[in-house]
Amino acid sequence: MSTIKEILSVLEEMAPLAYAEDFDNVGLIIGDENAVATGILVCHDALENVIDEAIAKKCNLVVCFHPILFASIKKITGKNYVERALLKAIKNDIAIYAVHTALDNHPEGVNKIFCDTLGLINTKILIPKQNHIRKLVTYTIRDNAEKVRNALFDAGAGSIGNYDKCSFNSEGTFTYQGNEKSEPTIGERGIMSRGTETKIEVVYAKHLEAGIIKALRENHIYEEVATEIYNMKNTFNHIGLGMIGELEEEMDEKDFLLYAKDKMKSDGIRHSAFTGKKIKKVAVLGGSGSFAITNAIQAGADVFLTSDLKYHQYYEAENQLLLADIGHFESERYTKEYIVDYLRKKILNFAIILSEENTNPVKYL
């Protein structure tokens, strides 16, 4: 039997919480992680009817895309849809876990699913994540350097784009003198030691830091391991919000919108004025993406598909690209299928159920 905590580790492999935006509320929202899991229900929104479905299907873990608890609350009295869902989940010992922007920013997440559904090729991140790269500097003797380097690589350090096992190494002279409580690997306590050390420098994504530090300490021969960690201003091009790619064959604007409407199963698309250009380069951002209009223009997109555009934001197209609002739910609609497929590959012989509830609050005539 698996505990909820064991399942959470798989979810965090799928969508590392460090990928999420700072404003977001991702991870385990309510529930006892030490409870034995009876089943997993995957949904888009953990509303009250979804909790009812979890109860009926004997699932005590609900994995949702949107966090049901987003803004802070001081009371849970059942006066609104959020509180009613939380109350029912708590009463029935159901845990709720949200992925949201942790999966939005993932290179295989929401926007890659969006691109794949549209058949886009040559895809890349539209808005790469900032402040996600760190650099580790450590020092050890020559005989230990290769072991330390390989351990760091195995933990995920030293990956830069299409290259792995990247490091910079230099040599210098070390000095130290241990006190009466020290157990020096080289030399004797109370006596100045001097020799040659290798300086090892590697970069890594910050969500890997705990494992990298653990690997360093387990493979370093010194009693006290010297480390320096720096925040890098470099852009991390492999995770971030939105994506841009290309159609294999260009299309007329109206034909493309009808194509996108069909592929994303949208009941309606609002769009800016047609530019008269062919559509070849397509930018997407699942969910509310008006903040990325300028990014899409700068990236040379012919069209930008997103949702929740306001009246005046359509003017921002400036006849440079076509803006299209396909609906919030619609832009993310295949996310829960992705989560179910991922979990079924990782967790065998366990009930992982795709919710049958349609939680899209927007209806069309």
CA distance 104 to 285: 9
Q: Give 303's strand partners.
A: 282, 322
User: Between β-strands 61-66 and 40-45, what pairing exists: parallel, antiparallel or unpaired?
Assistant: parallel
Residue pair 199/137 in contact (Cβ under 8 Å)? The answer is: yes
Q: Which residue has the tokens 């909820």?
A: 4
Residue pair 92/51 in contact (Cβ under 8 Å)? The answer is: yes
Structure tokens, 41? 């229900």
Q: Please check if 220 is assigned to a binding site.
A: no
Q: Please check if 197 is assigned to a binding site.
A: no
Q: Please check if 207 is assigned to a binding site.
A: no
Alpha-carbon dihedral sign for residues 239, 337, 249, 325: negative
Strand ranges in the chain using DSSP code E only, listed in sequence order: 27-30, 40-45, 61-66, 95-98, 121-129, 133-141, 168-176, 193-205, 227-231, 236-251, 270-271, 279-288, 303-307, 322-325, 352-354
Instruction: List Cα–Cα distances, 62 to 14, 69, 133, in angstroms.
Output: 16, 13, 32
- The residues, any chain, with a CB within 8 Å of residue 62's CB and separated by 6 or more, are 40, 41, 42, 43, 46, 50, 51, 54, 89, 94, 95, 96, 97
Structure tokens, 144? 């230990």
CA-wise closest residue to 313 among 297, 333, 331: 297
Instruction: Report the amino acid identity of residue 187.
Output: G
Q: At what angle do helices 48-56 and 81-91 cross, to 10 degrees?
A: 20
Q: Which residue has the tokens 């004797």?
A: 188
Which amino acids are annotated as binding site for a divalent metal cation, given as ranges?
Answer: 66, 104, 328, 332
Which amino acids are annotated as binding site, given as ranges?
Answer: 66, 104, 328, 332
